């Protein structure tokens, strides 16, 4: 039975990913987060370990990820979290790592969406999220970075438009359910991307702004 770890599992995307994995795989899940045992009690069962912990605690992280087949960081983290986490993954021999991020770290947001995105998100390429991505790309992990556009909830919208590093990013929105499904499919191997930084958005949303604004 494979073992997948979801870090920051108490967030919406973490919970949606966990539910997807429980429904569509036979994996054992480790759900790690603040007060996870209370906040994620609905997931309690034979296939789930709930771990209370902080992303800045390397000992707790090491205990959680040891023996994992893959790890998903369901949170857009700073370098102060990601750099020690990479070390923990190296020390425990975990290779497969999926991490959330945001678009425009490479100044790749383009098209009608660019002006609105930069007005409402800021100049991402001038933030420390650039160093977060650089740290992952420098690692020897089998990583996938998910540069995820503006989020909303819609379980009927699970299709994903994928752009790769070096390609323009134009999609204005994506549902959390789509992100969770894509992350789960990366963990289980249904999606076959390796050592890639991917922009993910909803197909046919090359708009000036998300539909919910």
3-state secondary structure (DSSP) of residue 9:
coil
Q: Which of 154, 156, 167, 170 is nearest to 212 (CA)?
A: 154
- Answer whether 153's CB lies under 8 Å from 191's CB: no
| Number of domains the chain contains | 1
Helix H segments across 153-207? 176-188
Does 209 map to a domain? Answer: no
Does 207 map to a domain? Answer: no
- Answer whether 171's CB lies under 8 Å from 202's CB: yes
27 band by pLDDT with thresholds 50, 70 and 90: very high
CB neighbours of 4 closer than 8 A, spacing ≥ 6? Answer: 21, 25, 27, 28, 29, 30, 68, 69, 70, 71, 72, 187, 188
Does 38 map to a domain? Answer: yes
93 band by pLDDT with thresholds 50, 70 and 90: very high
Average pLDDT of the residues in 39-54? 97
Average pLDDT of the residues in 59-66? 98
Q: Given this model, what pLDDT does residue 2 score? A: 97
Does 194 map to a domain? Answer: yes
Average pLDDT of the residues in 33-40? 97
Does 15 map to a domain? Answer: yes
Give tens-digit pLDDT for 152-173.
999 999 999 999 999 999 999 9
Q: Given this model, what pLDDT does residue 148 score? A: 98
Does 212 map to a domain? Answer: no
Q: Given this model, what pLDDT does residue 199 score? A: 98
103 band by pLDDT with thresholds 50, 70 and 90: very high
Residue 72, strand partner residues:
6, 98
Measured N-to-C along each axis, helices 129-138 and 79-92 cross at an angle, to the nearest 10 degrees, of 20
Q: Mean pLDDT for the chain? A: 98
Q: Given this model, what pLDDT does residue 124 score? A: 98
* Token representation of residue 79: 């370098």
CATH number of the domain to which 137 belongs: 3.40.50.720
Does 206 map to a domain? Answer: no
Range of the domain at 98: 3-201
Does 213 map to a domain? Answer: no
């Amino acid at each position: 039975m494979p073992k997948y770890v979801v870090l920051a599992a108490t967030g919406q995307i973490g919970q949606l990913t966990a539910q997807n994995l429980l429904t569509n795989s036979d994996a054992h899940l480790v759900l790690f987060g603040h007060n996870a045992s209370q906040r994620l009690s609905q997931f309690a069962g034979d296939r789930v370990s709930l771990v209370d912990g902080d992303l800045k605690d390397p000992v707790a992280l090491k205990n959680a990820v040891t023996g994992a087949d893959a790890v998903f960081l369901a949170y857009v983290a700073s370098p102060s979290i990601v750099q020690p986490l990479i070390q923990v993954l190296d020390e425990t021999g975990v290779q497969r790592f999926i991490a959330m991020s945001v678009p425009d770290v490479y100044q790749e947001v383009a098209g009608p969406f660019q002006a609105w995105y930069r007005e409402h998100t800021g100049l991402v390429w001038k933030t420390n999220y650039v160093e977060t991505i650089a740290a992952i790309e420098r690692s020897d992990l089998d990583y996938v970075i998910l540069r995820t556009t503006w989020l909303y909830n819609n379980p009927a919208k699970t299709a994903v438009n994928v752009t790769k590093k070096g390609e323009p990013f134009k999609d204005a929105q994506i549902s959390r359910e789509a992100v969770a499904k894509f992350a789960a499919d990366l963990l289980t191997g249904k999606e076959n991307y390796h050592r890639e930084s991917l922009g993910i958005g909803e197909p046919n949303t090359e708009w000036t702004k998300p539909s919910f604004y």
